Amino acid sequence: MLEGLFNQLAKPAPPCVIKVPPVPSGKKQREPLQATDYKAVPWVPPVPSEKTETKAKITLSTKERQKLLAYLDAIGETDRESIDEYLTGCGKDAESLARQLQQADDCLQLKTGDFTGLVQCSGCRHLSGDTCQFHGWRVVVDKWRRCTDFEPLQKTTDTELITCKSCIHFESHYKHGGGAGACHAGVMPFGACHWADTQHQCDKYQEVKR
């Protein structure tokens, strides 16, 4: 019996195969990275700042105030509220004040009959219709102004200054025959505003026989 036991022990033991169940990972796996279509992020234009440049208000000096009041008087402005509003506007910033003072100067100078340094667009070769071709802006054609770009319409000195009012080609827009009107001689394009009393040179002028 002992011999049988020894024989059994002498035989090699069969390999012990233990099935180990998979241990579930405690961690959640990430979704595998996948290639995705590239979509460009649309460009968003920068939003302009809402801040605007603020200009410093000006306190009018006594002299400036007097000049502006003299100008208002010259153009016949008497309404107190309008005068206050105008003066407040003049003191808005240095640029506005300089512009208004220049306008006042020009007006007061014109009142004395002195046209020195002042021109009218109606006598300038850059004017086409009611637009200045040099600057590209619309103008009041018979307003006296300072303009360093003024070039006389006709440089001939032998042509005397005339007004459209006494020309057969002129047709006023008004019954009184003055003010704005049209030239039927085609001197200026259709729509141009001719002023009856503006002095200028014109080689198509023909005096109305009375």
CB of 38 vs ligand SF4, minimal distance in Å: 56
Going by C-alpha positions, the residue among 151, 196, 191 that lies closest to residue 178 is 196
Nearer to ligand SF4 by Cβ, of 107 and 147: the residue is 147
Nearer to ligand SF4 by Cβ, of 77 and 197: the residue is 197
Nearer to ligand SF4 by Cβ, of 104 and 200: the residue is 200
In order of 4, 57, 68, 88, the CA distances from 60 in angstroms are: 133, 10, 10, 9
Nearer to ligand SF4 by Cβ, of 64 and 106: the residue is 106
CB of 135 vs ligand SF4, minimal distance in Å: 5
**C-beta separation of 142 from 180 below 8 A:** no
Give buried/exposed letters for 45-67 (b at 16+ CB in 10 A, else e): eeeeeeeeeeeeebebeeebeeb
Nearer to ligand SF4 by Cβ, of 90 and 187: the residue is 187
Footprint of ligand SF4 on this chain (CB under 6 A)?
Answer: 119, 121, 124, 126-127, 132, 134-135, 139, 147, 149-150, 162, 164, 167, 169-170, 183, 185, 187, 194, 202, 204-205
Count Cβ atoms below 10 Å from residue 103 Cβ, excluding itself: 16
**C-beta separation of 126 from 133 below 8 A:** yes
The residue type of 71 is: Y
CB of 127 vs ligand SF4, minimal distance in Å: 4
CB of 152 vs ligand SF4, minimal distance in Å: 10
CB of 163 vs ligand SF4, minimal distance in Å: 7
Q: Which H or E run contains 172?
A: strand 170-172
